Structure 1
C-alpha cells in the first residue's frame, strides 16, 4: 500500500513539473474531498437521552456498552443510520436536578430529545405537581433552543407501597406532559422488566444487562419511527 502511495505521489510530482495547472487540479480535488467529509459529519444527527440512573446504566459491568442508550446506538449503527446518541443519564437525578442541568447539555445541537426522568421523585414521594412543573420546564428549554427537535417521553411508575393515590397521580404525570407537548410517548420504560427478578439487579429497581436489552427494545419501538 505504501509503495502504491509513493508511486502515485511520484506521478503527481512529475505531472506537476510538466504542466503548471496540475497542482491546482490536485488542490481542488483535496478541497472537494474535505468538503465531502465535512458534509458527512454535518449530516449526522444527535439523539440526546436525558435521564437518571436507568439511562446512565447504574450497576452494569460496562455502562458504556450495556446501558440501554448504547444498545439503541447499536441498532442504529446496524442500519447505517446517520445518528449518534449522547447519554445524558446521571444517577440519582431528580426532575429538579434535571431542570438545572439541561442547559449544559443543550450547548450541542439536539435533533431528537428523549426524556427519562421522574423515577427518583416518585421514590422520594415528592409532590407530583412539582415533578410535572420541572419536566415541563425541561421540555420548554429544549423547544426554545431547538424548536425543530423531535421529542419523546418515557413514562414511569412507582412501587405499590407508595400508596394507590400517590401511584395513580404519579403515573398520570407522563401522559399529561406528552399530550401537552405533542411528544411521542412510551407509557412505561420498564415494560416486561419491572418486577421480574431475573431481569433486575439486587435492588429490584435497576435492570441487569439482560433487562437493559429489553428496555432498549421498548425504546426502539417508539424511536425507530422518528428516524
Structure 2
C-alpha cells in the first residue's frame, strides 16, 4: 500500500482589509507535491471549509513562480483541484499516514479554528503518523491539543515563518497576530535560521516543520524519509 498524504490548503482570499489579497502560497504546495509524487505517495487536498482555494498573488511572480508552480498554474486539471476541495470534516484521519500544512498568510485566519483539522492532526500524530507544516502552515498547529489536553507543539522543537520575516515582507501591520510569539506561548521550542528566507527545517520525532517558502522541498523530503 502506498503511503497517503493529506495536503492542507486555505479558503481565505484576503487579510482583514479586503483591499489586501492573499491565499495559498502555490510553491509551498507544488514543491512538496512533487517530492511526494516522486516517492509514489497518494495525495489528497483538504481545506478547512471546502471549496475554492485562492492563490497568493505574490507567489505568482518571480522568483516564487518557479517551474513547479507554473506547471500547476497552467494545468487546468490541477487548478480544478483547487476549485473544488473537500472540507476537513469529510475525511477520516485513519486514511492517512501524514498531514502537511501549506502556507500563505491566509492560513493564519482559517487554519487555527478548524476543529476538523485539529481532530485529523491529533489522531494522525497520536498513532505515530507524521504531522508537518511549512511557513505559515504551523498556524494550523497552534491550537491543536492532544487527548491529554496538552498542546501538540508544547515542548517540541519546531519552526515556521519568523516575525522578522513578516517585518521584512512588510506585512507585520496586516497580519492578525504574531505566529512565532503565539507558538512560544503554547510551549513550542521555536527555532529559526540565522538569516531570513533561507531554507530551514526542524524534525522532532514525528513533527516536521519548515520555516519559509524556500523550505517546502526540504520539509517534504524529511517527511518522505520518515515515511
Same fold (TM over 0.5): no
Q: Which has the larger Rg?
A: 1
Higher RCO, 1 vs 2 (CA within 8 Å, ≥6 residues apart) = 2
- TM-score relative to the length of structure 2: 0.35
Instruction: Name the structure where helix makes up a greater proportion of residues.
Output: 1
